[in-house]
Chain A
C-alpha cells in the first residue's frame, strides 16, 4: 500500500455514495434557491447590470446619424435612454429604415446585424428585420422597436419607442 493511503484512509467508493434522500434534499435546496432568485428579482428596484432602465427619461428626439453615411445593408450603433440602452439603426437592403434595442429578448445579449437579419451570438437566436419577430433559437418575444424618422436636414432621428406588435393587438 502506498504511504499516502495509510495517511488518508478514505474509501472513495463509500465516500462518494449519495443516498436518495440526500439527493432529494439537495434538489429541494436548489429549488429554494430558484425561489430566492425570483424573490430577489421581484424586490430589486434597480435594473440588472446591462439592462436598460425603463424609468429613465427618453429624449424627445435623438439625432443619430446622417442618412447619406449609412448605405443600404449597413447598421449603426447608438445609445438612447442611457449608456446601457444600446440600440441599432439599420438601413435594410430594401431601402427601409429600422431601429431596435440591441438587447435580445431571451437573456439580454446584444444582437447584431448580419446584412440580412439580426442575430444573437449567445444562444444562436435570430430576428427578422421588418418588425423584429424571432425567427430561430430560444427568443419568443419580438425586439423592442424604435420610431425612426428621416428629416429634411439629412439626419435620421429617433422619436421614441414603438409598441411591440403583440402589445399593439
Chain B
C-alpha cells in the first residue's frame, strides 16, 4: 500500500536527479584526479557544490507531497496504483 502523503514523482524531477548524479560522478573524478596529483586547493569548493547538489537530489527524491492522499477503504485500488508510481 502506498503510504499516505506520498505521491508520484514527475519525470522532470527524476531527470534532475539523474543529471545531479552524472555531475557528481564527473566532479568526484575531477577531485580525485587533483588530489592524486597533489593539488587540494579546489577541495573546499567542490565539497560545497557537491553538498548542494546532493541536497537537491535528496529533497526531490524523499520529499513528501501533500495533496494526493489515498481515501480510506480504497487500499486495493491504491495497491494497484502503487505499481505505477
- List the one stretch of A1-9, A47-55, A68-76, A145-153 in contact with chain B: A47-55
B60 an interface residue at 8 Å Cβ cutoff?
A: yes
Check B60 against A35 for contact (C-beta < 8 Å).
no
Pick the residue among A20, A28, A103, A141 that contacts B57 (CB under 8 A): A28
Residues of A in contact, count (CB < 8 Å): 32
Residues of B in contact, count (CB < 8 Å): 39
- List the one stretch of A59-67, A88-96, A104-112 in contact with chain B: A104-112
Which residue on B lies nearest to A41, using beta carbons?
Answer: B35
Query: Total contacts A to B, CB within 8 angstroms?
Result: 107
Least Cβ–Cβ distance between A98 and chain B, in angstroms: 18
Given contacts A23-B14, A30-B21, A31-B58, contact A48 B35 (CB under 8 A): yes
B78 an interface residue at 8 Å Cβ cutoff?
A: no
- A47 to B37 Cα, complex, angstroms: 10
Check A144 against B50 for contact (C-beta < 8 Å).
no
Q: Could you give 18 example pairs across A and B, Cβ below 8 Å?
A: A17-B83, A20-B14, A24-B14, A24-B57, A27-B18, A27-B20, A27-B57, A28-B58, A30-B21, A30-B24, A31-B20, A31-B24, A31-B54, A34-B21, A34-B54, A35-B51, A51-B35, A144-B37
